[in-house]
Structure 1
Amino acid sequence: MRKPIAITMGDPAGIGPEIIAKAFVLAPDDLTGCVVVGDVATLRRAAQLVTGHAAVTLPVVELTSISEWQAAPPRSIPVLQKCELSAPVLYGQINALAGKAAADCIVWAARAALAGDVAAMVTAPIHKEAMAAAGPAFSRFPGHTELLQAEAAAFVGKPISGLPVRMMLANDELKTVLVSIHMSLREAIDAVTFENLLATLRITHQCVRTTTGSSPRMAVAGLNPHAGEGGLFGREELDVIAPAIEAARKEGMDVSGPYAPDTVFMRARAADGQTGEFDVVVAMYHDQGLIPVKYLGVEQGVNVTLGLPLVRTSPDHGTAFDIAGKGVADASSLIAAIRMARQLVG
């Protein structure tokens, strides 16, 4: 690694700092070259929590600059203090200060990635209510994706609408990309437009091809039961989805559908050493696409933001306030996200 990977600590009241500390214990080789962007005291508390269970030493080393990343001692957690907390916050409670601290770390890491100071960013979970409580600078963003989109758009000098991004959730068995992300179901249905679907197919095709070196076989899920059943259960498949698929084909993309959403994910699943019928499924809305991947195991799922001029991955789970501070959180998804970030960086 010629540049480090930045890991943002997530909401300090959640499991983010804990799973980061666990990752440094459980997968030290994967964590080599990683720097945590967060609060030093919070990471020290997390390290103490983890070492109480793992019976190993885990020093937390404060860096004064990202340029010091290679000088961090082995088997330590290098941390850049990039947020303000007078003291570690209470576990499991929504806190505006915690939300702001998490958001400040995301902004710093995004800007460092855009400037080329870090190779990629991996984001630990944030609490959306806490970030919304952090004030108007962050309350307008429903989550990580939208905040990163705004930062990237500002960096390249485009309006946010001029830099469309999409969420991909992936594990070893299934990859799915969403047409819409964080919005109500009623709004998500309205977001199923020719333009949005074609943009999703373009972004998915380009990003996956860049990563794998070959054009992905993309399947498109329908919006309605049985993909509309020829218009009996809705006309979106006929009037919107099929025309967008045809337009994508004319641009040279390997895409088919729309398929019944209750079976297409099974057809795409690569299980028992066998390849799936498709490389990726494009889903119409958040839960349609994420439930199948998460059902296969949240411990291995990775969230990848497509369309950004930077590499960003994250675990596919949330802050888990109910178990925060208990030392039982599973770091597997974070470790998988770090491995994915390395693959995407090349």
Structure 2
Amino acid sequence: MTTLLKPLALTMGDPAGIGPEIIARTMLEKPELRANLVIGDPGAMSRAIAMLGGALDLNVVEHSEAPLQEGAVNVLTSSTLTKLPPMGTVSAEAGRMAYDAIIAAIRLAKAGKVAGIVTAPIHKEALSAAGISYPGHTEILAEHGGGGRVAMMLANDDIRTVLVTIHCSLAEAIRRADFPAQMAAIRLAHQGGRALGIERPRIAVAGLNPHAGEGGLFGDEEIRIIRPAIAAARAEGIDASGPWPGDTVFMQARNGRFDIVVAQYHDQGLIPVKYLGLERGVNITLGLPFVRTSPDHGTAFDIAGRSIADPASLQTAIDYARRLAGTSSDQE
């Protein structure tokens, strides 16, 4: 177990989804994690606690400097809902609350008041209904986080993948997967692997086209863009190789040949990770000046409010955040 000098900020996510519930269940199952700070609407967290039988105390924290109440679920109010949205429904007010919590957490992280951020799931339609144009957490963090280029790393016990492009159409992803994007993803994959304790990460870069282009027969992006980026990364001392066919590279990584796979677009990278189980995956944002992780699943509107959501992925995300942000370790 990693001991932190400061709490993690846990953003509540969409209050109509499973975010508050899995936070409450995590703190019920792991009392030591109540030392962290939940950010969002206290009413939404109170509802989640009631769904679990009310076995947790809730403490509303007035400001970031206020002491946390030991043993309670401490909630810093980033915004207050006029009325709690029905579970499993899209609502502009819920989208705004989720966004406000993320911005509040970013401010705390940039000010050094928290050790890092763990974000519960948000709903893209709710964000849009609130007039918020970001397609996801990563884009919000990139704009407000104070870093340069960022990348999404999805990780579980078997494989890790870093995406060259994220939330856009496949046609747009092909346009965006240029030389600078390749270099940024490879460099961030290297940095991310080092942060996870891998001294010299072995990075496999997936091709964009079937069979990695088959020597130009199925497209020439591998020849024109990806291969030169790999060569440039190797010249910087990064152990990068490829381009490897996307249909076999993850199998090779899972078998131990590579530590990280750089995938060209969203589904190429996420399908292999999610196929192995949502409860085991975690999303890490690379390139920020602070730690940010999240569970590898969405708001699960179909089961929200039924007290059956599995908190395992959130707990894994918290474990990764503690590992990345930790200053010392003790044994449990």
Q: Report the TM-score, using the length of structure 2 for normalisation.
A: 0.95
After the TM superposition, list the runs of 4 or more consecutive aligned residues in structure 1 that deviate by more than 6 angstroms. none
1:118 to 108, 114, 123: 114
How far apart are 1:86 and its partner, in Å? 1.4
Rounded to whole Å, the distance in 2 between the matches of 1:60 and 1:33 is 12
Measured in 2, the distance between the counterparts of 1:293 and 1:17 equals 24
Q: CA deviation at 1:50?
A: 1.6
AA at the equivalent of 2:274: K
Contact 1:122-1:341 within 8 A present in 2 as well: yes
Equivalent position amino acid for 1:127 in 2: H
- 8 Å CA contact 1:27, 1:335 repeated in 2: no
- The answer to whether 1:234 aligns with 2:214 is no
Identity %: 55
Structure 2 residue aligned with 1:58:
56
SS class of match (1:68): coil
Structure 2 residue 159 is matched with structure 1 residue 179: no
Take 1:200 and 1:27, find their aligned partners in 2: how far apart are those partners?
35
**Distance in 2 between the 1:112 and 1:61 partners?**
19
CA distance in 1, matches of 2:40, 2:145: 21
Cα offset, 1:142, TM superposition:
1.0
Aligned with residue 65 of structure 2, among 51, 64, 67: 67
Question: Contact 2:42–2:60 (CA<8 Å) still a contact in 1?
Answer: yes
Shift in Å at residue 104 of structure 1? Answer: 0.3
Question: In the alignment, what sits opposite 2:185?
Answer: 200
Q: In the alignment, which residue of structure 1 is the partner of 2:152?
A: 167
User: 2:269 is aligned with what amino acid?
Assistant: G
Shift of 1:213: 5.4
Q: Per-residue CA shift, 1:35-71, capped at 9, x if unaligned?
A: 10011111010001122xxxx71111111123334x4
Counterpart of 1:323 in structure 2 is 303
Consecutive unaligned residues of structure 2, counting only runs of 5 or more, are 327-332
Deviations 1:195-215 (A, max 9, x none): 110111112212322331512
CA displacement 1:124-158 (0-9 Å, x = unmatched):
000011111112xx22x1111111111123xx7xx
Asked if the contact 2:195/2:324 (under 8 Å) is kept, the reply is: no
Partner of 1:129: 125
Distance in 2, matches of 1:207 and 1:224, equals: 26
1:337 paired with 2:330, answer no
Question: Within the alignment, does 1:101 sit opposite 2:97 as a pair?
Answer: yes
Contact map agreement 2:193 2:260 (CA 8 A) in 1: no
Kept after mapping to 1: 8 A contact 2:35/2:70: no
TM-score calculated relative to the size of structure 1? 0.91
Alignment map for 1:6-45 (pairs within 5 Å): 6-29=9-32, 31-45=33-47
Aligned residues: 323
Quick check: 1:142 aligned with 2:142?
Answer: no
Distance 2:64 2:244 in 1: 47
Give the equivalent residue in structure 1 for 2:329. none
DSSP 3-state at the match of 1:212? coil
How far 1:77 sits from its partner (Å)? 1.0
Task: Check whether the contact 1:36–1:77 (CA below 8 A) recurs between aligned residues.
Answer: yes
Deviation readout 1:323-343 (Å, 9 max, x if unpaired): 111111110000000000000
1:300 matched residue in structure 2? 280
**AA at the equivalent of 2:143:** A
Amino acid at match of 1:24: M
Structure 1: where are the runs of 5+ without partners? 157-162, 271-275
